Amino acid sequence: MMNAARYSSGLPFADFVERATKYEELWRIGWKRADVPAELVAELVGVCQPLHLVNLNEDWCFDAISTTPAIAKLAELLPATDLRVFGRDANPDLMDAHLSGPEGKSRAIPVVIVYDDQWRERGWWGSRPRPLQEWVETEGTRVPKEEKYHYVRQWYARDRARTTLRELADVLLRCASDVAVDARLERGEAVPPVR
């Protein structure tokens, strides 16, 4: 599914923002204002295993506008991590392997897929922060569409991508740990049991 050549065909996030035609101003503002809490960067800066992030995205997606700039900023701040953007619709093999929603049938974006330096998939995140998705799937089903979208926009504005960053950080930490364990096993080293 993913290899170095395909990964290099993806867009760096800044290039994606420059090419956005739908909500272009929102993308530019989001990228300019994106920030990552220093304590989160400090927690992740020790991740030294190379991790490649694939961001499935489209410029028309409001959920992506609300979270992806901060995700890209996080990847930029971590020395062993990089990120490329791939269009959801142009990459159905990647999208269909990472469906979400109540029954795992939704082609919802954004999605972030984490690969190690051997292009093995190590984990993924998407498409909304868990607390927001839970609201959408429960209380959100009982409110009119306009009211639901208003609530979602307000939730994102209050959260400022903090929940997304925390959830993605947990995925990255787990992936980095798994990569480190695999490397030790490949070298024939003993791995202490998890307690």
* Cβ atoms 57, 86 nearer than 8 A: yes
Domain regions of the chain by residue span: 4-186
pLDDT tens track for 31-85: 999 999 999 999 998 888 899 999 999 999 999 999 999 999 999 999 999 999 9
Residue range 10-33: mean pLDDT, rounded: 97
- Name the pTM for this structure: 0.91
Q: pLDDT value at position 176?
A: 86
Q: Could you tell me the CATH superfamily of domain 4-186?
A: Glutaredoxin (3.40.30.10)
Cβ-contact 57, 108 below 8 angstroms = no
pLDDT digits (tens, 9 = 90+) for 126-164: 999 999 999 999 999 999 999 999 999 999 999 999 999
Give 86's contacts (C-beta < 8 A, 6+ positions apart).
10, 11, 54, 55, 56, 57, 94
Q: Going by C-beta distance under 8 Å and a sequence separation of 6 or more, which residues neighbour residue 137?
A: 101, 102
Q: What is the average per-residue pLDDT within 79-92?
A: 96
